[in-house]
Amino acid sequence: MTIAILDDNLLWSTRLKRTVEALGHRAVVASPTTEVLPEADVAIVALSPGDPRLEEVLRLLRERGTHLIGHAGHKERDILASPAAGLCHQILTNSQAAFKLEAALALVDIRVSPPQS
């Protein structure tokens, strides 16, 4: 499965990328405000406050059929309950994203078509 990590925090996105790859998936890291969003089955998105394009990006990804996992700090209750969070299929705290990502990904219902021969 291809997983896009949309986060401007380089340390955090690098850590998530290593975790995703250790679980046997392909990881693509990009800024959530990038002009060209990567194609992915799943997107792990930082629900950063103050990003005016975040909801637009989440809507575009949903229209593509991308499963959205939003994350924020456990004390950031306003972010975890924000309209952007409401667009996500799953919401994780940062610690859940770091330590329970495998369980979260197991809940993703991805039906990939077999390759055409």
**Helix (H) or strand (E) run with residue 60 in it:** helix 54-64
Nearest to 105 by CA among 87, 92, 86: 92
The whole-model pTM stands at 0.86
What the chain holds in terms of domains, given with CATH numbers, is 2-106 (3.40.50.2300)
Give, for all 117 residues of the chain, the pLDDT tens digit: 999 999 988 999 999 999 999 999 999 999 988 888 999 999 999 987 667 788 899 999 999 999 999 988 777 677 677 778 888 999 998 888 888 888 899 888 654 433 344
